Structure 1
Amino acid sequence: MKLMMGLCMVGIVLQLFGSPSAANPFLGDWDTPFGVPPFDKIELEHYTPAFEEGMLRHKQQIAAIVAEESPPTFANTVEALERSGEMLDRVASVFFAMKSSMNNERMEVIAKDVAPKLSQHGDEILLNEPLFRRIEALWAKRDQLDLEPEQRRLLDETRKRFVRGGANLPADKKERLKAINKTLALLSLSFAEHVLKEENRFELVIGDRADLAGLPEGVIAAAEEAAAERGHEGKWVFTLHKPSMIPFLQYSQRRDLREKIYKAYLERGNHGDELDNKQILAEMAALRVERARLLGYPTHAAFVLEEAMAKEPAKVYELLRKLWTPALERAKAEAAEMQRMIDEEGGRFRLQSWDWWYYAEKVKKARYDLDEEMLRPYFKLENVLDGAFGLATRLYGLKFEKRPEIPGYHKDVTVFEVKEADGRHLGVLYVDYFPRPSKRGGAWMGEFREQRRIDDRDVRPVIYNVGNFSKPAADKPSLLSFDEVETLFHEFGHALHGLLSECTYQSLAGTNVARDFVELPSQIMENWASAPEMLKIYARHYQTGEPMPDALIEKIENARHFNQGFATTEYLAASFLDMDWHTLADVRPDVDVLDFERQSMQRIGLLDPVAPRYRSPYFQHIFAGGYSSGYYSYIWAEVLDADAFEAFREKGDLLDGTTAEAFRRNILARGNTEEPMELYKRFRGREPRIEPLLKRRGLE
């Protein structure tokens, strides 16, 4: 039935457009620099026929593998499977990147149509019995095949993917698994769409300038521009996008308005209307448990973590609890200090979650003579990006060349060619840093094309970094907060992981590693973002070009542990919530989501003025972003990155070339060609220690 549908779709394309490759860029070769997507030619109507044709071609390739008359070999089965589906990968990589960055109603319609088809297509491959028999036959004699280490890894990972995808299940359970996967694909899409629409529909409109008391002029100017864009001329608008909301929470003297905007943020997906996510996430949690049990695992977390460094839920909880106690004590001390300030000012109220940013900023100013607005003039976006690029040059010899002739998918996108020190082409990097209504919140990295080798030809990657940073104002360039600076370096670290990959097989290359290992290359970059040695290089005043004064750098150093209790507890609380949802052995689809969340937070004793970084109804990482049972990964990887960065400190040079080369060779270049702990030990000479992390966060 699916095959006939695909043939019909191709027939329609031919009737409407003649030669499909002439009309639809996805159906032919891309005659563009470095084979990048031809965004100036791609239209919305191209996606559906391209998906159908891509799935059809992929099915034909799978059928050819199964029909192979000669006995299975690594080349005619595992390698052939690895090379299959290239066109489908190409259209999917572009479509889902655009779905996150350039979403609209037509994209949503296409996504809801194609998501269940893609789910079914993937299941038909993983549950293809003749194909699995060929893989299993090879795996059974794996020790006699004389495979190279990367070939052996691919065989092991391929076989594991089939088993975990249900290949050993009886027929009736395979059908149920297909239905679960199809439903989960649609629910995940709806969850993300609801959050985006919630964020876009809220606006805090201020008509009286007196209500802007305490806000810096740059924040006011940005709000005035936002108001004009939304049809509120002569007023000021604040939204739930972080560059708008966070400065408002930090500086607004109107406590009632801080409460209004922060409650709107906390209540996303929780209004009992058409955008409510509680029923969706409850159904997802229930289906995930059912799927795990079908596959022989007690919980969804047990299923997911089998593929992670942590291996089991108990190890995750062990790390979270080890950090929770000192972090909570520090957060209590921070809250007490803020409450004293409130009392001294005659506030006559208890500290609440919408007060935290405001009083944290006041305490930081009083204790360290430092606030966010003192730093912004030194963090012009272009200078920060140059700093990240310059760091990659110093560590790895890379060169970055702007390529304005390569079309982006939006006017805010800038494209760079990345080269080795000797001028060899390494890859392409797109950067897209400003918020817009069509873009989901947060920041991320992805690939339009992943690195691989085909017939001794090294196919280089095409990478993108996306963010939601402070936009330029009429009279000022984009000036970043320090948090945004660290985020830019973080996502650039992911980009380097993709760009510096040196693997043979795409499924093992770049960032295709364990979820709790993938954040090591990104988070280690944040260390350099705040290092005094680097600040002196890239932090320059946007008007004068003068470097950041030593006195200001010293203040940043003195304040580096400030508010770490809050930052750690809000993150850990969300990690506990993720694990609590996914260690359930049984979930009713009508579970009371808010009551479950309350109980989860009560068990760990979360402070009232601290909300988890993400509440369940808008926790996209775990219900729409691939991090279910994996949000802990950031802190797990922080153990690794803090310990890895110590290797540079031990050399007495944060830019030590020998250490950088070892990190590139053993971590960044190797992808998933070996177990991550083995790669780490090869770089560091031992397993990681937790002490550098505790020291960094001031939790000793």
Structure 2
Amino acid sequence: MLARTSKNALVQASKQPFRFRGCLFTKQKSRTKFLARPASTVSAPPSPDDADIIANFDFPQSSQISSPLSHTGLFRHSFLTSPLAFTQLADSTLQRAASLTERIINARSSRKELFQVVKNLDRLSDMLCGVIDLAELIRNAHPDRAWIASSEEVYDKLCQFMNILNTHVGLYEVLRTVLSDPEIVKSLNPEAHATALIFWRDFEKSGVNLPPEQRNRFVELSTEILSLGREFLVETSSARPPAAIKPIELQGLKDIGMGARLRLQAKFTQRDLLVYPGSLQAQMIMTSAPQEEPRRKVYMASNASTPQQIETLERLLLARGELAKLVGKDSYAHMTLGDKMAKSPENVQSFLDALMDYTRPYARRALRTLSMRKQAHLNTSPMPIIQAWDRDYYCPPEPPAPPIALPALTLGTVFMGLSRLFRNLYGISLRLSEVAPGEVWHPDVRKLEVVDEKDGTLGWIYADLFARRGKPSGAAHYTVRCSRRVDDDDEVGDLTFLGEDDVASTELSRTFDTAHRSHMPGQQGEYQLPVVVLLCEFTRPTVSRGPTILAWHEVLTLFHEMGHAMHSMIGRTEYQNVSGTRCATDFVELPSILMEHFLTSPTVLSLFDSKSGERVRHAGTHHEDPCRSIDTHSQILLASLDQIYHSPAVLDPLFDSTRALAKLYETRGLIPYVPGTSWQTQFGHLFGYGATYYSYLFDRAIASRVWRNLFSQHPLDRETGERFKSEVLRFGGAKDPWTMVSTLLDAPEMAGGDAEAMAEVGRWKIEDEVALPGRH
């Protein structure tokens, strides 16, 4: 689509998610051999940049770098100082976008203009994405309700305009003229041609060939889907009614302290305990209550749905099915997957079936272990059935742990380790940057400049890492600004379609559009530099407690999100529509998941050491979850459920999402479905990743293969890092991902990306064993 925004990353659905947000091409072999630094220099003293990072993240009160510059606006946009200014920016952008649309529509009147169509379509997309993506960030991160209200208005206004453009016959016909002209097509470099084809497919996917009445219906359905999706997401996080637990049911609780407090509470209140799903008490009961009944009650409460919640989901699924039918597709999955690595729901099923065949024996073995534990605990007949509320009691989830013993890792130390890792692999460092008054939305936000040893500044990362009231939970990567070439924009040509009054009214948009630009050494032209934001919910450092100490799962989270950020930084393309993380949904998680693998290497972990000569201690603190294969099996079922929910079945008037869930678990599940539950209303990824929930498992398999084949033996090898950088990261979405994967893994048989290639990925091992997608 013209505005390619907001892709949410996949994770284990029942845990706190990672989220990813956001709207030259001939292969060349490097002639220079880069080598990893000798082990003796890995644990070098901090460089001045490293020391600044440690001080600023660990002791912000005493070391906040503030700019001597006068007060500015968000992201140093001088005018973006108030919610009203943001609304004015949106209006200015819409007027400028409308005039550029007219210019493209009239391109057939000039041969020169036809050669500019692909570039101008990308500029039009960038105008919209730049404001829409900023609105998406503000409404999720800004603490001021006035800013949030403004961002909601801006987001809705520009998305409506985007939906109209996606079905614009005039734009489509001009692009068809361009792609039908051999001379123009020959003039397009591979990246430009890939961009043109993306626009072409998105136009056709949006029903541009439909009669006017049906095109209008397409826009109506798209708007309805957006509204229902946002309503669905609100409902997924809404509080569930509590479970009523009798004090006697908590006898023998493993957590003696918590159990005593709960029983004491019940004694004084003289009534049943009300335990709310998702609370610490609920988690404690699921892992520690020896009696089955309180665990069953908490499970039932946690997986209950109201009729309204089910209706919202089923209306969303039906609207998607109708949208697909409108454009001549069998299902929403068929409509969605055509431009993904999977290509079709049939190929997705090939992958899931192969992964299921590999996983099932491990999961059954783990289930037998749980059954024997239950038999010994309750003194039952052999092999009692493991119910859904038994899993966490007989195999309590253990928090992730590093493979070796480590000293306490502060937030600043981890960022120093990230900078050192990127320096070893890519010749890229992180450098603390000044923050001008008004530039950020909260005093906690830190700004990092990403610097290449040859090319200079690549872009900026704004890190909003500490929990606060009203801030969304979890972790997320937001693309605020994409890379693209800007020196050949030909803005003078736009003036033809702007009146004198219009030129003045579009000044805000043009000022916004010209920010964050730079000439890149070794590259022709001037580029718009990427800007991304990382959101996390770590504990804020204080004078009394000292620096923020990260738990291991938080280190994993930070590495994951920085994988997205570096993809955005390195994926420098001439067209924003294919830059960085603007790539296929089932490819976008590969760089971020690969980053997690680096944390399994003691060599990489030594980068956290800030004292010269002092190596991290090697000791066996790492543990594997013996039951994670059960959870991986469950993830495969959820990916299958996602396919069912986006199949032709949803168009049947008798379709019942709960019945479909029960049938899937009855036919392919290991743990029985529990009648009376309807967990699907908490499956938030059904909106952001509709028909593509398989992607996280898929990318985990590929990332595991890349790690084992390329990095595991020499994780800091510069030549290998440069290979991954030049063959994958730099292309963004401008190159076929199957081609990139097959080249990287030296597996030409994978290049076609057919059903057999999908099945082959399903047969690859995930990590050392079958792994659980996502982190706690």
Q: Partners in 1 of 2:720 and 2:478 — Cα distance? A: 27
Deviating more after overlay: 639-648 vs 434-443:
434-443
2:769 maps to which residue?
697
SS at match of 1:552: coil
Alpha-carbon distance, 1:358 to partner: 4.5
**Could you tell me how far apart the structure 2 residues matched to 1:189 and 1:119 are?**
14
Is the CA contact 1:142–1:152 (under 8 Å) kept in the aligned structure 2? no
Instruction: Assess, with a 3 A threshold, how the Cα gap between structure 1 residues 43 and 445 changes in structure 2: closer, same or farther.
Output: same
**Structure 2: distance between partners of 1:248 and 1:74:** 66
Using the TM superposition, give the Cα deviation of residue 448 of structure 1 relative to its aligned residue in structure 2, in angstroms.
1.0
Map residues 337-348 of structure 1 onto 2, 5 A cutoff.
Answer: 337-346=369-378
Question: What corresponds to 1:91 in structure 2?
Answer: 131
CA distance in 2, matches of 1:249, 1:478: 29
Per the alignment, in what secondary structure is the counterpart of residue 116 of structure 2? helix
Deviations 1:162-219 (A, max 9, x none): 22222211112111111101111111121222334438x98999x9xx99976699x9
Q: Which position in structure 2 is the counterpart of 1:288?
A: 320
Work out which of the residue numbers 120, 137, 140 in structure 1 matches 2:180.
Answer: 140
Q: Which moved more, 1:406-415 or 1:465-474?
A: 465-474
Match of 1:419 among 451, 455, 479: 451
699, 710, 727: which one aligns with 1:637: 699
1:38-94 Cα shifts (integer Å, max 9, x gaps):
599644444444333322321122123224432464543221121125554333222
Q: Using the TM superposition, name which of 389-398 and 118-127 deviates more.
A: 118-127
Change over 3 Å in CA distance of 1:99–1:110 after alignment to 2:
same
Q: 1:509 corresponds to which letter in structure 2?
A: S
Cα distance in 2 between the residues matched to 1:480 and 1:377: 11
How far residue 277 of structure 1 moved from its aligned partner, in angstroms, is 2.7
Shift of 1:425: 0.8
Contact 1:39 1:409 in 2 (8 A): no
Q: Which runs of 5+ in 1 are unaligned?
A: 1-29, 224-236
SS of the aligned residue for 1:685 comes to: coil
Q: Which amino acid aligns with 2:641?
A: L
> Are residue 161 (structure 1) and residue 193 (structure 2) matched?
no
Q: Paired residue for 1:5?
A: none
Relative to structure 1, the CA distance from residue 132 to residue 458 in structure 2 (aligned partners, 3 Å threshold; closer, same or farther) is same
Counterparts of residues 190-589 of structure 1 (less than 5 Å): 190-198=231-239, 265-267=302-304, 270-272=305-307, 276-346=308-378, 351-361=386-396, 378-403=408-433, 405-406=435-436, 407-422=439-454, 424-436=456-468, 438-455=470-487, 456-469=525-538, 475=545, 478-538=548-608, 549-553=617-621, 556=622, 559-560=623-624, 562-587=626-651
2:162 is the counterpart of 1:122: yes
CA 1:242–1:509 in 2, change beyond 3 Å: closer, same or farther?
farther
Residue 380 of structure 1, CA deviation = 3.9
Contact 1:642/1:693 (CA < 8 Å) preserved in 2?
yes
- What secondary structure, in the 3-state scheme, does the structure 2 residue paired with 1:648 have? helix
Asked whether the equivalents of residues 429 and 451 of structure 2 are also in contact (C-alpha less than 8 Å), the reply is yes
Q: TM-score, normalised by structure 2?
A: 0.71
Counterpart in 1 of 2:89?
Answer: 50
CA 110–277 in structure 1, closer or farther in 2 if over 3 Å, else same: farther
Contact kept in structure 1, 2:462 and 2:534, CA below 8 Å: yes
Q: Is the 8 A contact 1:194 1:277 kept in 2?
A: yes
Mapped partners of 1:104, 1:648: distance in 2 = 46
The offset of 1:583, in angstroms, is 1.6
CA spacing shift, 1:327–1:684, aligned 2, 3 Å: closer
Taking structure 1 as reference, are residues 338 and 483 closer, same or farther at Cα in structure 2, changes over 3 Å only? farther
Cα 1:162–1:391 change in 2 (3 A) is same
Is 2:227 aligned against 1:186?
Answer: yes
What TM-score comes out, normalization by structure 1 length?
Answer: 0.78
Structure 2 CA distance for aligned equivalents of residues 376 and 215 of structure 1: 27
Question: Quick one: which amino acid aligns to residue 682 of structure 1?
Answer: T
Which whole-Å CA distance do the structure 2 matches of 1:238 and 1:654 have between them?
46
Report the Cα offset of residue 517 of structure 1. 1.1
Q: Distance in 1 between matches of 2:251 and 2:78?
A: 44
The residue matched to 1:36 in structure 2 has which SS? helix
Quick one: distance in 2 between partners of 1:385 and 1:308? 33
* 1:9 equivalent in structure 2: none
TM-aligned CA deviation for residue 447 of structure 1: 1.1
What code does the residue aligned with 2:94 have?
M
Structure 1 247/546 Cα, relative in aligned 2: closer, same or farther at 3 Å?
Answer: farther
Distance 1:76 1:421, change over 3 A: closer
Pick closer, same or farther for the CA change 1:112–1:397 going to 2, 3 Å: closer
In the alignment, residue 189 of structure 2 is paired with which amino acid? Answer: E
Match of 2:734 among 668, 673, 680: 673
Give the superposition deviation at 1:464: 1.6
Asked if structure 1 preserves the Cα contact closer than 8 Å seen for 2:243 and 2:275, the reply is yes
Question: Do 1:561 and 1:698's aligned partners in 2 also have CA atoms closer than 8 Å?
Answer: no
Q: Which amino acid aligns with 2:338?
A: E
CA apart distance, 1:529: 1.5
Q: Secondary structure at the match of 1:408?
A: coil
Secondary structure in 1 aligned to 2:731? coil
Pair 1:242–1:426, CA change in 2 (3 A):
farther
Aligned residue identity for 2:644: D
Aligned length: 633
* Counterpart pick for 2:666 among 590, 595, 602: 602
Deviation of residue 579 (structure 1)?
0.7
Pick closer, same or farther for the CA change 1:75–1:373 going to 2, 3 Å.
closer
Whether the 8 Å contact between 1:292 and 1:298 is mirrored in structure 2 is yes
Corresponding letter in the other structure for 1:360 = C
Amino acid at match of 1:294: L
CA distance in 2, matches of 1:339, 1:39: 64
What CA distance in whole angstroms lies between the structure 1 residues aligned with 2:132 and 2:410?
34
Q: Give the direction of change, closer, same or farther, for the CA distance of 1:606–1:343 in structure 2 (3 Å limit).
A: closer
- What secondary structure does 1:502 align onto? coil
Shift of 1:245: 7.7
Pick from 35, 48, 64: which aligns with 2:103? 64
Cα distance change, pair 154–411 in 1 and its aligned pair in 2 (3 A): same
CA separation in 2, counterparts of 1:397 and 1:168? 48
Contact kept, 8 Å, 2:422 with 2:428, in 1: the verdict is yes
Q: Which residue of the other structure, out of 79, 96, 99, is the alignment partner of 2:119?
A: 79
Query: Structure 1 pair 73/44, CA: closer, same or farther in 2 (3 Å)?
Result: closer
Q: 1:494-544 CA distances to partner (integer Å, 9 max, x unpaired)?
A: 111101112100001111111111111111111112223323443899xxx
The letter for the 1-side match of 2:303 is L
Structure 2 residue identity aligned to 1:653: H
The alpha carbon displacement at 1:667 in A equals: 0.5
Q: Tell me the amino acid that sits aligned with residue 194 of structure 2.
A: R
In 1, Cα distance between the equivalents of 2:425 and 2:145? 44
Segments of structure 2 that go 5 or more residues without pairing to the other structure are 1-68, 262-273, 488-524, 751-759, 772-776
CA distance in 2: counterparts of 1:419 and 1:385, whole angstroms: 14
CA distance in 1, matches of 2:242, 2:609: 34
Describe the superposition over 1:588-615 as per-residue Cα deviations: whole angstroms up to 9, x where unpaired: 577433222212322322413999xx94
Which fold has the larger relative contact order, with Cα–Cα distance below 8 Å and residues 6 or more apart in sequence?
Answer: 2
Measured after TM superposition, the shift of residue 120 of structure 1 is 3.0
Cα displacement (A) at 1:32:
8.8
> Given that residues 483 and 572 in structure 2 are in contact (C-alpha distance below 8 angstroms), is that contact kept between their aligned partners in structure 1?
yes
Give the secondary structure class of the aligned counterpart of 1:84: helix
Instruction: Give the match's secondary structure for 1:433.
Output: strand
Alignment of 1:686 with 2:747, yes or no, is: yes
Report the CA distance shift for 1:203/1:75 in structure 2 as closer, same or farther (over 3 A): farther
From 717, 720, 745, the equivalent of 1:656 is 717
